[in-house]
Chain A
């Protein structure tokens, strides 16, 4: 395959328009099938028994009484999921997280599961399982867990990345470092230095749809899995490996998805459902309750971050340093590492150093959450940047513009930037009417910047042209944010036909080659590249068929606006052939017409955003309302601008919840106290203002249309923008997220008492 992914600067007719979404009617009428909407004849109900302890040795599990209960068809424990991971520690962690093997490592950790004829029987069966626990000391706080005297979660782990191998095991699994230059000499040159410590509490992605699947293991060793996921190919690989199956024998079909935000990139219930089905010989449906989703899926890290930045009087940053500690749950991760990479990515810095520490705690295994790890680092860094601007007597936007990274800047995490959008988003914010709008008493305005890498990855796409001239596009990246609409637009653009002629579907794992999951804001970026490539391959065949029809060389046939055109005066009397004409004749000219593409989408362009936020704080109660919010972000090219705006608004909305109220609250007993939407407070509609958006388009040179990922960057600036706004409203620097009313009121009272 010969595919040139470089940006071509073409004019668009479909891309950039806003047609209605192809999945919209089904979703608003309730017809769309989500994970729990799939059913099979004879299916059983699966339920999971979970540890009530934060940390405990599982001495024994007695399932005999549950097995004897009428209606129970299978009971499983870790014994039914033997370790086949062959030294792959990451897979072992996934296995152990799916079903605890020796120790329960957090409140909610699965220890056994049942499949029964109905939910009532399954619930009764769970009560009959006897688990003998030896409760161990636990630790849930990231700073406490990093102390030497903290209870050890895994005594085989020694901190990696230190100069010498430590003598003792530790909950700190890894140290990573990024940066360049010499921060000591940089700070020596500074006229002003601001140094502060910050904390952020653990949050959940808060997707409305709980994890749900139906697993059916057949007598011949093949199996089917219908599941709500961001990546059915990845789920296939993981489940097949954990269950000792050949991947080709497991067919995974993804459902519609009621939100994932990174939280559905990881298997939890799926291997359990498959193991139950294998043992029971019947299909098993397993749907997690909301309580289980909070206690036992994959929230993001709690963090503790120190930041120090120095600048000269003229506003030039001379050095920047950060130490970041991120909780990983009870299994090793690389979350602090990502935070350390993103922390200073917005800035052009001569001297920069970031150090990340990964910390084990007795909480659920951390999973990705929209630009994972970046929002917390941005909160800490952008808070200090704001404070430093104040010390310098400079405008917060001007200070950032002066130090913003540009094309050619060596980023704080290593690579040298191509054309990027941080400068343009800052200029747009500087000139935005929001920045000049008046504020009333007890109101404050804040702004902040954010960065995300974006990702490309393995992608495989089929484009089939029907005899009626309709185009069906089969992609393997799950549509989490409107990619079926945007990919249909891209196919229409490339083929020169109308959007209504294209229908995109997400194909199952047996219908396409491997696709990475929809993460890293890669869905539209990578699959549009593959769609363009597949369309170009189809066009080649369309031209060949036209050439054959006309009996002229294919090189003399060009494709323009949906038609094959014979090039040159000698063919003057040949009327163009439309895609429809060629498709209609295809049965006689060589059969069906299709284009295929498989590629690794390299060069996902990095993405930047700058947000502005106004808040009103009630000084007597600490209650905060966001009263105006503006997102400015570089999209590279907005394929479907309404969806892009939706992504900007969605990230901001999640960031607002995180900044103000969302947090995992653990009791002294190590149990999660707020495993539900009543006390885990995501914003409701009336909590949010209309979130204004401005799309900038700085083309990604590595994509034919200039597309960059847009889904994640929008959650990076809000924590910082809101913290800066609250701090400006009340005159006290808020350093602990969420800035819940009790925290704000306590900070105000402390300030009043001096």
Chain B
């Protein structure tokens, strides 16, 4: 097995920071991003907590030098994160090699679509948002922002594993020499659509989410965008690039159990993790830390915990869910947690699973609850979504 696919840039905006270093500082100082909702007017505002990005749209538009109200918030945060990743990778001309952009999103421009649903007919000045309902439209606009011209651009929407799957496709395209460089990840803003959707599923917590806690009450929705730059070994060698880490393994499987819930014993999750280990050519014992999906819903954490016990044959490595910091950022989650996995590898640190108090009854594994310094060589990150979609990524340290 080779070293994997090189990661040369990362970028992120989430409830705990507007860039990579702010996110890192929040993660090691235990600063969480969950609070009452401020930017969406919803009747549920007193019953829910969310991981909202603090900047409002005009602030984001100013930061990007964009005209007012031309773009969905999904586009705005996506542009910020993608731009940071590209800058960090030291890319001067994005079209100088075969560059692709693959983004995951579930809501796309739904924030604007729901806002102007009835207004389009009387207000021509908001009709620019009509085509924004296409999930691919957000991707297209971010691609334009980072200057991509004719290259390969596509969008993946597999619910909460979207960004993980975008990263996976990017790695496969680099490995099969279809692309030399690809920017991969995902973006999702908060919307009434998802707030009300998850509300009907009765899996929203009315307080801070508590992953892997016996008394967990559900998830907090969040919003974020996060991207990685993947580059071929040829470019890395030729341009003597700094490598931040490697994507070693990836796997996607379907639980084929229920449209929204995970199977009791996490069959899909086990399959996805097994595939990823196989691609990486690794034994489960080589995994130093698991960044769990850990949404804090009763169903996910039980199913994922059982899957971990099965995969690791009882010897589960240290694990934590970072969703207590950010909330569940849906399509972006796999990108956010890929960035955190790389930060963990770079700094030899495990980020804590906050808000954990009570051991789950069904098994005896428990998450890391304090910042822990430990040499990390390999991190496994899970993302699971509706439609039984299960994805696993394995990252390793830059040598």
Q: Do A and B interact?
A: no
Residues of B within 8 A of A (CB): none
